[in-house]
Amino acid sequence: MRRLTTLFPSEFLEEHAEELGVVEREGKLQVPVLVWALVFGFAAGESRTLAGFRRSYNSTADETISPGGFYQRL
């Protein structure tokens, strides 16, 4: 985990997401948290469902996102 977060720091993920057009506007969704929830949440044996992904994201993020809001953002 430490190697990955060192290799891809939050600032890099935010800048790269902006360059790719992933971020349309600043809001609740935190791109680094989304990436790490996907990478570590599913790799750690979390149930591989969108609901599991949302729970993993919400457990890490500063602000939680409702199920409807989360699915809309995906």
Q: Domain residues of the chain, as ranges?
A: 29-64
Those residues with Cβ within 8 angstroms of residue 46's Cβ, 6 or more apart along the chain or in another chain: 52, 53, 55, 56
State residue 18 phi and psi, 5-degree precision. Answer: -65, -40
Model-level pTM greater than 0.75? Answer: no
CA distance 63 to 11: 19
Q: Average pLDDT, whole number, for the chain?
A: 82
Q: Residue holding tokens 């430490």? A: 2
Mean pLDDT, each 10-residue run in order, the chain (74 residues): 80 89 78 84 68 86 88 79
